[in-house]
Structure 1
Amino acid sequence: MANPVRTQQNDSVDALCWRHYGRTAGVTEAVLTANPGLADHGPVLPQGLVVNMPEAQASAPQRQMVNLWN
């Protein structure tokens, strides 16, 4: 099952993966596979685009996010 997310200004697939999964390793390819034609938008995705985020595989370790703005 995929969770849809909406892109923000200047988002890339990597930025979406980092924000949604907390990593890019092993999930960027899955997002591109789950969204045929997504790469046709180029490196910066249009704002407001709905992207399906498939469930992450447990094969790659997740990184802990650090928020420096609190």
Structure 2
Amino acid sequence: MSDRIFAQQGDTLDALLWRTRGFGPDDLVGVLEANPDLAALGAVLPLGTVVTVPEAATPTPRTLPLIQLWD
């Protein structure tokens, strides 16, 4: 089973996937394969575009490594 998400105004595919599912660049290929006509819409998705997210996609952790300026 797959999940569906909807684009907001000004969304790019990578921004939409990051905001809603925490997906990174490695997950774009699977999403584009599940939505073959999506690339033809251009870089900025039209408002309300339905994007099918395959179940096989794995989320990228949304945490960044801790950087300490002092010991």
* TM-score between both structures, scaled by the size of structure 2: 0.75
| Structural RMSD (CA) | 1.9
Matched, 1:18 2:18: yes
Q: In structure 2, the residue corresponding to 1:51 is in which secondary structure?
A: strand
Separation in 1, partners of 2:51, 2:23: 17
Q: Tell me the amino acid that sits aligned with residue 63 of structure 2.
A: Q
Separation in 1, partners of 2:36, 2:25: 19
Structure 1, unmatched stretches of 5+, are: 66-70
Structure 2, unmatched stretches of 5+, are: 65-71
Q: In structure 2, the residue corresponding to 1:26 is in which secondary structure?
A: helix
* TM-score between both structures, scaled by the size of structure 1: 0.76
- Looking at CA atoms only, which structure, 1 or 2, has the larger radius of gyration? 2
Structure 1 window deviating more from structure 2 (16-25 vs 29-38): it is 16-25
Give aligned pairs, total.
63
- Post-superposition, which runs of at least 4 consecutive aligned residues in structure 1 deviate over 3 A? none
Is the Cα–Cα contact under 8 Å of residues 22 and 64 in structure 1 kept in the other structure?
no
Is the Cα–Cα contact under 8 Å of residues 7 and 45 in structure 1 kept in the other structure?
yes
Separation in 2, partners of 1:64, 1:28: 19
Q: How does 1:1-70 map to 2 (within 5 A)?
A: 1-55=1-55, 56-57=57-58, 61-64=60-63
Identity %: 44
